[in-house]
């Protein structure tokens, strides 16, 4: 069996490819990625010479390229992660999100349907986010029946892609599964997302920007646990079904930032608590969702999956990884990312507390 992983050179994709090659020694993995600013072949370095792994550079919006990879590699399963993934960027440049997340997903669906015809031994797994459900108040959690209510251009584009995947199942009979997961963290996360922003700025002794009052709440899942959930749903999920995935680890942004800075101090021999002084409260993100949480009863009961890494363990492993991988950080943080960082943080640097 050959499985195409789109977005394989990104954060979750590269962790997933490494995970699947260990878990499925009898399957071939074809990594497909356009290598945008957030995708980097360095992320796939550990599996570069793996005999069951091939990398193909390509854009999911390019019909011919998608068709060629599906046919040439006799693909019978797709795990689709390629996306524009950063909410702040979607505020600055929404059309890039429509192009990749909507047009790109529909291109993949069309070409997979075309290549597979009526086969029922195939599967299209669409990897999505809890953000499609909008924002929660102080209590409650999303589940698979929650109505869609996206608030950012990013989440609106992911919501649209989810609807197209469902439509391809209902209308054309494409065998699909969908997953909607909460915030991931861990090795190889591009340094524009909260946890690597905190770490890279703490390492450089720069202020750590916390939007608003830091009272927004997210649920955090260590990326390896997400990869295990994806493998589980790909193999054993029911056709046409959606599965919510989460870490059951809710925490406010400020609490999380403090926990990371404390772990950073511990790992670098600073007085624990000293780096908290780097926190700077800056202008809030427009349309900032207050709280996300996921009820994972369905995947737990039907497929036996549950998170295994606690937030404390995951933070310690993540801090260690970033401290040990300075060369990776330097390599991925150049050029285009620097320009975005300057644009986004120029009026947000704020003064440390």
Interacting residue ranges for ligand NAD, rule: CB under 6 A: 6-7, 9-13, 33-36, 38-39, 59-61, 81-83, 85, 100, 104, 127-129, 158, 181, 183-184, 190
Question: What does 164 interact with, of ligand DAU, ligand NAD, none (CB < 5 to 8 A by kind)?
Answer: none
Comparing C-alpha atoms, which of 192, 191, 79 is closest to residue 128? 79
CB 172 within 8 A of CB 113: yes
Residue in the shown chain whose Cβ atom is closest to ligand NAD: 10
Please state at what angle helix 153-172 crosses helix 105-116, rounded to 10 degrees.
20
Looking at the Cβ atoms of 205 and 271, the one nearer to ligand DAU is 205
CA end-to-end distance (rounded Å), the chain: 55
Q: Look up residue 133 and give its DSSP letter.
A: G
| Cα distances (Å, whole numbers) of residue 102 to 37, 107, 130 | 19, 9, 17
**Catalytic residue chosen out of the listed positions 33, 131, 219, 228:** 131
Looking at the Cβ atoms of 200 and 275, the one nearer to ligand NAD is 200
Question: What does 36 interact with, of ligand NAD, ligand DAU, none (CB < 5 to 8 A by kind)?
Answer: ligand NAD
Instruction: Tell me whether residue 144 is one of the annotated catalytic residues.
Output: no
Instruction: Tell me whether residue 292 is one of the annotated catalytic residues.
Output: no
Question: What does 225 interact with, of ligand NAD, ligand DAU, none (CB < 5 to 8 A by kind)?
Answer: none
Distance CA 63, CA 266 (A): 50
Distance CA 329, CA 332 (A): 5
**Catalytic residue chosen out of the listed positions 59, 84, 111, 130:** 130
The length of the chain is: 353
Question: What does 174 interact with, of ligand NAD, ligand DAU, none (CB < 5 to 8 A by kind)?
Answer: none
Question: What does 216 interact with, of ligand NAD, ligand DAU, none (CB < 5 to 8 A by kind)?
Answer: ligand DAU
Distance CA 130, CA 141 (A): 10
Residue in the shown chain whose Cβ atom is closest to ligand DAU: 129
Minimum distance, C-beta of residue 125 to ligand DAU, in the bound complex (Å)? 16
Minimum distance, C-beta of residue 193 to ligand DAU, in the bound complex (Å)? 4
Other beta carbons less than 10 A from residue 347's beta carbon: 9
**Catalytic residue chosen out of the listed positions 33, 59, 111, 154:** 154
CA 209 to mean position of chain CA atoms = 21
SS3 category, 141? coil
Instruction: Tell me whether residue 263 is one of the annotated catalytic residues.
Output: no
Minimum distance, C-beta of residue 27 to ligand DAU, in the bound complex (Å)? 27
Minimum distance, C-beta of residue 60 to ligand NAD, in the bound complex (Å)? 4
Minimum distance, C-beta of residue 323 to ligand NAD, in the bound complex (Å)? 20
Enzyme catalytic residues: 130-131, 154
């Amino acid at each position: 069996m050959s499985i195409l992983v789109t977005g394989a050179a990104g954060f979750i994709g590269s962790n997933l490819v490494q995970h699947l090659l260990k878990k499925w020694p009898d399957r071939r993995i074809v990594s497909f990625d356009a290598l945008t600013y957030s995708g980097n072949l360095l992320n796939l370095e550990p599996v570069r010479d793996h005999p069951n792994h091939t990398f193909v550079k390509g854009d999911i919006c390019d019909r011919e390229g998608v068709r060629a990879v599906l046919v040439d590699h006799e693909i019978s399963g797709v795990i689709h992660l390629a996306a524009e993934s950063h909410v702040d960027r979607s505020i600055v440049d929404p059309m890039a999100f429509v192009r990749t997340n909507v047009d790109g997903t529909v291109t993949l669906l069309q070409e997979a349907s075309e290549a597979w015809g009526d086969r029922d031994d195939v599967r299209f797994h669409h990897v999505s986010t809890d953000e499609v459900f909008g924002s929660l108040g102080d209590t409650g959690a999303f589940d698979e029946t929650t109505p869609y209510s996206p608030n950012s251009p990013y989440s609106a584009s992911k919501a649209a892609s989810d609807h197209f995947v469902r439509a391809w199942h209902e209308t054309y009979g494409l065998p699909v599964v969908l997953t909607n997961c909460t915030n991931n963290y861990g090795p190889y996360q591009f340094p524009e997302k909260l946890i690597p922003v905190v770490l890279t700025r703490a390492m450089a002794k720069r202020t750590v920007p916390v939007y608003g009052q830091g009272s927004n709440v997210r649920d955090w899942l260590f990326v390896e646990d997400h990869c295990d959930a994806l493998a589980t749903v790909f193999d054993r999920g029911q056709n046409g079904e959606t599965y919510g995935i989460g870490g059951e680890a809710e925490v406010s942004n400020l609490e999380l930032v403090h926990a990371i800075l404390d772990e950073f101090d511990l790992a670098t021999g600073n007085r624990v608590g000293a780096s908290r002084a780097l926190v700077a409260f800056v202008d809030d993100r427009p349309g900032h969702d207050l709280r996300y949480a996921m009820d994972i009863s369905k995947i737990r009961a039907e497929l036996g999956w549950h998170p295994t890494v606690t937030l404390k363990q995951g933070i310690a492993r993540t801090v260690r990884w970033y401290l040990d991988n300075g060369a990776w950080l330097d390599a991925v943080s150049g050029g285009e990312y620097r320009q975005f960082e300057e644009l986004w943080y120029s009026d947000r640097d704020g003064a440390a507390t």
